[in-house]
């Protein structure tokens, strides 16, 4: 072990600071009782524009942004830049549908997307399917956050062998788990301020200071371009995507954008706002993060230009950014940067596990007990499940090896995108039949997992789970596209055909709790309660 003392000291200091904040958050905007799921899990639905900006930013810009995307840029170049169009188009999408979801959820007290699905379609099985998909899809996303923390620790020289290898990671996660447990959503929301401040400082310094040291952006692009061209053709690495890469590029962008706000944690951020317009305003201002994301993605090219050589095995390309920071920054600032990345991974991991826990208690446990769960018990179980979800994420890291951490998020996307028809289509129309939606969801999840499973990695060193871009060769077609979007097409097809068939045979459609006004409802604080179904 060869630890950089200064960097590690700064890192530990900042980490201790956010830990204190995390535990103190329980006092922030103090609630009468955190024993209610609304308080623990949605922060009392009281967040205004300012907090929401930080909370949603914390949700969306994570180790995905700081480790995974630059790693892909480092490995294959332009293909990794799909994250920019992804984060451009996600906000118009949110702008369209999120206010409707907020209104109907607010009116009926829905805490999770699955609550809405049940209220809308009167189907417990569809609700459970949506909830399960959400929980499982969240785990690889949390796993990606863990990889981010691991990468930072490893570059600082904190790594052992055998069982001690994962010890620092486990300690970091134990702390996270503890303050999530006590403070609920308030903890990550409060820490998000510190995190975003750190990240803005680090990123602004990185995208100005590093290019100056490396001889300017023009130089970075030309050196990185040359190095990408020199890689084996099978990797598809290039500075500008070739025609064969177009379909993968736009399907990854569109599929990721459509998937993002289906994640329970992103919906949690939306529902925790205090009014409908907070979301709409934020959709207009959140792209400021996207600009940063683009610059952060370029760190991958800077690492190439700076001659960073990541190890061939282990975390491999995922170390590109931490190694770049270590080589470029003075020790103390490297420590700040590492802390920013690690905290930037912890905040979303906390939010994700809270959201998954909400889903479990409300939509899976509740129905099992015939709806006889007290709010106190519900909040208690949610806290425990938030721990279990994190353990699930740890297991994914241990058993599923991928070239690029980004693949974790993309696999999650394959699953979560399939809940879109029930949720988003459901916000606009009641035409789809609940059983058809369920059939579409099940078929698409199955097919999506199949596609991800059979895809080898670029160099064929690994036969399964190698990439989320599926090479489609059936029916005389030949293209490569994001498996999530292919599965989504199947999903909609099954749901549509199924609905027509079920309508012809007059299958019972289930009761709709909601009314048309609920989706726009803003001007009046509340109507009479919808009967509990």
Partner 1 sequence: MADHSAHHQADKPRPTHRPVRRWAYVLLLAPFIGTLWVSTYARSSPHLFGFPFFYWYQFAWVIAAAGITAFVYLVTTPRGRRRPPGRGGDAYPSGPAPRRDRSDVQ
- Judged by CB under 8 A, the chain residues 270 through 299 that form the site for partner 1 are 274-278, 280-281, 283-285, 287-288, 290-291, 294, 298
The piece of 91-99, 407-415, 443-451, 474-482 that touches partner 1 (CB under 8 A) is 91-99
The least CB distance from residue 50 to partner 1, in Å, is: 12
> In sequence order, which residues have a C-beta less than 8 Å from that of residue 70 and are 6 or more positions away?
80, 296, 297, 298, 299, 300, 303, 320, 321
Q: Name residues contacting partner 1, limited to 500-519 (CB under 8 A).
A: 513, 515, 517
Chain center to CA of 525: 32
Q: Which CB sits closer to partner 1, 393 or 486?
A: 486
Chain center to CA of 465: 19
The least CB distance from residue 193 to partner 1, in Å, is: 19
Q: Which of 152, 185, 214, 254 binds partner 1 (CB under 8 A)?
A: 254
The least CB distance from residue 533 to partner 1, in Å, is: 8
Q: Name residues contacting partner 1, limited to 118-147 (CB under 8 A).
A: 119
Rg (CA), the chain: 23
Query: How far is residue 229 from each of residues 77, 275, 501, measured CA to CA in Å?
Result: 9, 50, 52
Interface with partner 1 includes 268 (CB under 8 A)?
no
Q: Which of 3, 174, 240, 489 binds partner 1 (CB under 8 A)?
A: 240
Q: Which CB sits closer to partner 1, 153 or 254?
A: 254
Exposed, middle or buried: residue 458 (CB in 10 Å: 0-12, 13-18, 19+)? buried
Rounded CA-CA distance 342/345 in Å is: 5
CA torsion, ordered 98, 103, 106, 111, to nearest 10 deg: -30
Q: Which of 5, 13, 92, 508 binds partner 1 (CB under 8 A)?
A: 92
The string of DSSP codes covering 30-79 is: --S-TTSHHHHHHGGG-B-HHHHHHHHHHHHSSHIIIIIHHHHHHHHBGG
The piece of 8-16, 26-34, 51-59, 522-530 that touches partner 1 (CB under 8 A) is 522-530
Interface with partner 1 includes 104 (CB under 8 A)?
no
Rounded CA-CA distance 104/91 in Å is: 20
Interface with partner 1 includes 367 (CB under 8 A)?
no
Q: Which of 69, 144, 253, 451 binds partner 1 (CB under 8 A)?
A: 253
Q: Name residues contacting partner 1, limited to 296-325 (CB under 8 A).
A: 298
The string of DSSP codes covering 385-452 is: HHHHHHHHHHHHHHH---SSTHHHHHHHHHHHGGGHIIIIIHHH-S-S-HHHHHHHHHHHHHHHHHHH
Number of residues that bind partner 1 (CB under 8 A): 74
Q: Which CB sits closer to partner 1, 21 or 73?
A: 73
Strands 469-472, 479-482: parallel, antiparallel or unpaired by DSSP?
Answer: antiparallel
Interface with partner 1 includes 326 (CB under 8 A)?
no
Q: Which of 78, 129, 321, 452 binds partner 1 (CB under 8 A)?
A: 78
Interface with partner 1 includes 61 (CB under 8 A)?
no
Q: Which CB sits closer to partner 1, 209 or 450?
A: 209
Backbone angles phi, psi at 48, to 5 degrees: -90, -170
Interface with partner 1 includes 200 (CB under 8 A)?
no
Per the CB < 8 A criterion, the answer to whether 338 and 321 are in contact is no
Q: Name residues contacting partner 1, limited to 373-392 (CB under 8 A).
A: 375
Interface with partner 1 includes 89 (CB under 8 A)?
yes
Q: Which CB sits closer to partner 1, 244 or 309?
A: 244
Interface with partner 1 includes 364 (CB under 8 A)?
no
Of 59, 62, 43, 139, the residue nearest 360 (C-alpha): 139
CB burial string 283-299: b at 16+ within 10 A, e below: beebeebbebbbbbbbb
Q: Which CB sits closer to partner 1, 475 or 528?
A: 528
Rounded CA-CA distance 457/317 in Å is: 14
Interface with partner 1 includes 13 (CB under 8 A)?
no
Rounded CA-CA distance 146/172 in Å is: 9
User: The tokens 């702008």 sit on which residue?
Assistant: 95
Q: Name residues contacting partner 1, limited to 344-363 (CB under 8 A).
A: 362
The least CB distance from residue 260 to partner 1, in Å, is: 15
The 3-state DSSP composition of the chain as helix, strand, coil percent (nearest 5) reads 75, 0, 25
Interface with partner 1 includes 164 (CB under 8 A)?
no
Rounded CA-CA distance 365/109 in Å is: 18
Q: Which of 162, 232, 243, 370 binds partner 1 (CB under 8 A)?
A: 243
The least CB distance from residue 157 to partner 1, in Å, is: 34
Rounded CA-CA distance 302/215 in Å is: 10
The piece of 37-45, 147-155, 303-311, 411-419 that touches partner 1 (CB under 8 A) is 37-45
Q: Which of 5, 13, 48, 160 binds partner 1 (CB under 8 A)?
A: 48
Q: Which CB sits closer to partner 1, 252 or 422?
A: 252
Q: Which of 17, 24, 46, 331 binds partner 1 (CB under 8 A)?
A: 46
Beta bridge partner(s), residue 149: none
Q: Which of 218, 232, 330, 370 binds partner 1 (CB under 8 A)?
A: 218
Query: Three-class SS of residue 224?
Result: helix
Query: How far is residue 283 from each of residues 53, 290, 291, measured CA to CA in Å?
Result: 9, 11, 14
The piece of 212-220, 261-269, 322-330, 385-393 that touches partner 1 (CB under 8 A) is 212-220
Q: Which CB sits closer to partner 1, 504 or 516?
A: 516
């Amino acid at each position: 072990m060869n630890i950089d003392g200064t960097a590690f000291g700064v890192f530990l200091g900042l980490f201790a600071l956010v830990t204190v904040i995390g535990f103190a958050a329980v006092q922030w905007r103090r609630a009468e009782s955190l024993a209610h799921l609304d308080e623990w899990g949605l922060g009392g639905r009281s967040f205004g524009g300012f907090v929401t900006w930080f909370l949603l930013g914390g949700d969306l810009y994570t180790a995905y942004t700081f480790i995974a995307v630059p790693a892909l840029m480092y490995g294959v170049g332009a293909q990794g830049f799909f994250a920019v169009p992804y984060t451009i188009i996600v906000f118009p999408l949110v702008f369209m549908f999120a206010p409707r979801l907020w209104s109907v959820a607010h009116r009926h007290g829905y805490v999770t997307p699955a609550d809405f699905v049940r209220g809308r379609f009167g189907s417990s099985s569809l609700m459970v399917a949506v909830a399960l998909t959400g929980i499982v899809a969240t785990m690889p996303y949390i796993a990606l956050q863990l990889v981010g923390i691991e990468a930072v620790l490893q570059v600082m020289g904190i790594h052992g062998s055998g069982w001690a290898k994962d010890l620092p990671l486990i300690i970091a996660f134990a702390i996270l788990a503890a303050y999530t447990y006590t403070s609920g959503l308030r903890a990550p929301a409060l820490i998000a301020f510190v995190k975003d401040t750190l990240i803005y400082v680090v990123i602004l310094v990185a995208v100005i200071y590093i290019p100056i040291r490396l001889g300017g952006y023009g130089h970075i692009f030309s050196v990185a371009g040359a190095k990408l061209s020199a890689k084996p053709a099978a990797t598809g690495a290039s500075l500008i995507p070739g025609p064969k890469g177009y379909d993968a590029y736009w399907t990854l962008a569109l599929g990721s954008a459509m998937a993002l706000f289906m994640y329970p944690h992103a919906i949690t951020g939306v529902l925790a706002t205090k009014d409908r317009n907070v979301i709409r305003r934020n959709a207009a201002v959140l792209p400021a993060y996207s600009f940063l994301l683009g610059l952060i993605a370029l760190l991958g090219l800077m690492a190439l230009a700076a001659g960073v050589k990541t190890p061939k095995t282990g975390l491999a390309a995922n170390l590109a950014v931490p190694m770049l920071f270590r080589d470029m920054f003075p020790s103390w600032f490297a420590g700040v940067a590492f802390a920013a990345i690690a905290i930037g991974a912890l905040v979303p991991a906390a939010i994700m596990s809270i959201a998954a826990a909400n889903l479990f208690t409300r939509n899976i446990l509740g129905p099992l007990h015939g709806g006889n769960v007290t709010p106190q018990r519900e909040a208690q179980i949610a806290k425990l499940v938030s721990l279990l979800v994190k353990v699930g994420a740890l297991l994914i890291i241990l058993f599923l090896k991928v070239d690029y951490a980004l693949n974790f998020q993309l696999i999650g996307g394959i699953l979560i995108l399939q809940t879109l028809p029930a949720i988003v289509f459901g916000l606009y129309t009641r035409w789809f039949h609940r059983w058809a939606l369920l059939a579409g969801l099940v078929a698409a999840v199955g097919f999506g997992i199949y596609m991800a499973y059979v895809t080898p990695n670029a160099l064929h060193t690994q036969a399964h789970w190698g990439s989320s871009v599926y090479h489609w060769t059936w029916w005389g077609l030949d293209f490569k596209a994001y498996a999530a979007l292919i599965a989504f097409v199947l999903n909609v097809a099954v749901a549509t055909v199924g609905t027509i068939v079920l309508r012809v045979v007059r299958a019972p459609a289930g009761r709709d709790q909601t009314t048309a006004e609920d989706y726009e409802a803003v001007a009046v604080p509340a109507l009479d309660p919808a009967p509990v179904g």
